[in-house]
A and B are shown apart, each in its own frame.
Chain A
């Protein structure tokens, strides 16, 4: 079972990874966007870290919804409402829970993905965070059907997100600022899919 402490560790590890990769995400975004993704994610998660002691007093659902509320009011770019919606919906899927089994973990990420899709109205192949998140959720579901452990399922999800992220490079952007560049967006890895991969990577390392 995944405990609330593990969820807090995940959020803490995510803050670290976004701070460590602030420059990298900004470089990716400077190539095809408005160059603020690294700073935006770092600002949002610094605030999450600040609020974590207070948010931890709630159950896992409330904790994740609190993360969503924090991100939607601090991130600023399109990733604010997108990640904000992700965590609000993810929290809604595990309302009242103090620990999670694999079915809860699948429900959490699946609801988050649904939120991002309805908020951003992007489709698979549009060169967005959906391209990393969709294969990750599919991998979670496949692992659940195969009777694997939470750990195995999240490892498969992180690997799928990494592949999905890499596969955004040859795509032409159809959403956000990058879509204004048309064919010039081809050849660059999408920054949103990269921050999503970091989310899945830290999940696989901490939600055990």
Chain B
């Protein structure tokens, strides 16, 4: 089963999204939050993300959902700090953070592989809310 890492500039957003997604996955998926420079400072921290990637590591890979701006560069840097064989198993998703994380958690919890989970999460960007 794949692991999931939530990256946000805000530690509260990352933790909140982790909480929401975990509830949907009923605790079956390893979901780790990596928000903020530290617990009080808005920003992203490659070292913190690196730690989260290790914590969420699984044979089936880790999917990263993130907010915007420096979250991408910090995540790429965090990935480069991992051993090469582990780097290949990590995918950064284009999905919107909240909806993408919820869908990814559900898809991962039913045992889908990385490609399927990420495709479902990314499809959230066109998901209608008002029918």
Contact = CB atoms under 8 A, between A and B. Distances in A.
Interface of A: 36, 40, 43, 69, 72-78, 80-82, 84-85, 119-120, 176-177
Given A85-B77, A119-B77, A76 B43 contact: yes
B71 to A, nearest CB: 10
Interface residues of B, number: 15
A43 B38 CA distance: 12
Interface of B: 37, 41-48, 69-70, 73-74, 76-77
Contacts, number: 57
Contact of B73 (A43, A69, A73, A119): A119
Contacts of A43: 37, 41
Contact of A81 (B41, B42, B48, B76): B76
A77 B43 contact: yes
A82 B73 contact: yes
Contact of B43 (A75, A84, A85): A75
A85 B69 CA distance: 16
Contacts of B47: 69, 72-73
